Amino acid sequence: MSLDTEPSTWCCRRLHGWAGRSIGHWPIIFCSANRFRFPRKNHAMLFPFSKLRMHRVPTVAWNSPVSEPLTIGILGANSWIANAAVIPAINECPNAILGASGARSGPIGYPDVLSDPDVDAVYIALANGDHLEWVERAAEAGKHVLCEKPLAISSSDARRMFEACDAAGVLLAEAYMTPFHPLSIALAALIDNDDLGEIRHVASQFTFPLALPEAGTEINYRWLTEQGGGALLDVGIYCLDPVQRILGSGQLGIEAQITTADTGIDLTTSAWLRNSAGVTASVLTSFELPENQSLQIDGTAGSLRVDRPFTPGTDGSIFMITRSDGSIEEHRIEGANCYALMIGAFVDAVRGSTPWPRTSVDVLSTIGLCESIADAGRNKK
């Protein structure tokens, strides 16, 4: 699917016949059976994009005219995520240009990228523990920042980053691509329109076996506590974002169980959460369990199940809803390059045409919940 030509359409298709269409460059969801309706109330929903009026989704986020493209430099040019996802996404965005790319060892270092006058913004793909230093240095250099998730290894570090960027007048954005995918937007619409009835429970899981460090090789920072390693910080944002959108931002009851590695990181974290209304959630993150991504939302009118909800790709997604009468609905969503959509949204946010959807409050809330879960696991008797 080309992201720089005609606006794409995507489909939420029930077995009886769902449809998704686009009006101009703004796709909207509807169906002949009137299952999908536009929002009736302003409450917190599944993903940041759910806050958009009428769920209008900029399929091509970089359509706004600008005087010249945004030049984005790279800190951590040797990282897998930069090479596999973000650099191709920058090249795909017509309003962005790939600028200087710096590596820890090589002809171009991180300071060289920050001192380059042609670089407008930087994407930071470094170890979690290095984010604070280089976000602050980028802000001091007057560069807008798109920083890999988790933005910080603590709430205090995250506050320092936002304060530094606010003081410098530059944008700080966490590179969380999932909410930009049509699948996430479709799920948000379902929740907002009470399609599942009153939600009682949410279960989210992101697990995969992380390769053990080999003798004589550099250890992956995910194994190091001082670098913000551990499963909860690494993939917790994926599991916790939908949970927070449903349970809300109020006080949560938390229980947790943690299995630790010899290096001190959490290999597996299981958490159980409950809000004041009695809505519950279970979260599982792991570096030692088989690969699995899943999200299940159970409501009085239906139970939704989706596999691979957190890293959906360009080949499309399917989710199922089981109704109270036993009938099963299949919903098919067209694929998209959510990294390219994220880069387009970042360009627009820097240019001031649209706000960045994930605010500092969202980021601090998720990091704070990670800290609370970790505390609950450590203090478990």
For 73-126, write each residue's pLDDT tens digit. Answer: 999 999 999 999 999 999 999 999 999 999 988 889 999 999 999 999 999 999
For 192-230, write each residue's pLDDT tens digit. Answer: 999 999 999 999 999 999 998 887 788 999 999 999 999
Is residue 311 in a domain? yes
Is it the case that residue 350 has pLDDT exceeding 70? Answer: yes
Range of the domain at 276: 179-337+355-378
80 C-beta neighbours (distance < 10 Å), count: 9
What total number of domains does the chain contain? 1
Is it the case that residue 287 has pLDDT exceeding 90? Answer: yes
Is it the case that residue 369 has pLDDT exceeding 60? Answer: yes
Pair of tokens at residue 286: 């792991």
The pLDDT > 70 percentage for the chain reads 82
Is residue 190 in a domain? yes
Q: What is the mean pLDDT of the chain?
A: 85
Between strands 121-124 and 199-207, the pairing is: unpaired
Residues 6+ apart with CB under 8 A from 40: 193
Pair of tokens at residue 193: 């329109």
User: Which helix (DSSP H) or strand (DSSP E) does residue 264 occupy?
Assistant: none
Give the CATH number of the domain where residue 234 resides. Answer: 3.30.360.10
One-letter identity of residue 78:
N
Give the pLDDT mean for 42-52: 36
Is residue 270 in a domain? yes
Is residue 157 in a domain? no
> pLDDT band for position 68 (50/70/90)?
confident
| pTM for the whole structure | 0.82
Is residue 330 in a domain? yes
Is residue 90 in a domain? no
Is residue 100 in a domain? no
Pair of tokens at residue 248: 């809300």
One-letter identity of residue 38:
F
Is it the case that residue 135 has pLDDT exceeding 70? Answer: yes
Nearest to 357 by CA among 168, 176, 135, 194: 176
Residue 359 Cα distances to 40, 253, 315, angstroms: 23, 24, 29
Q: What is the DSSP letter of 252?
A: -
Pair of tokens at residue 1: 């699917």
Q: Give the integer Cα–Cα distance in Å for 109 and 165.
A: 22
Is residue 247 in a domain? yes
- At residue 67, the pLDDT reads 57
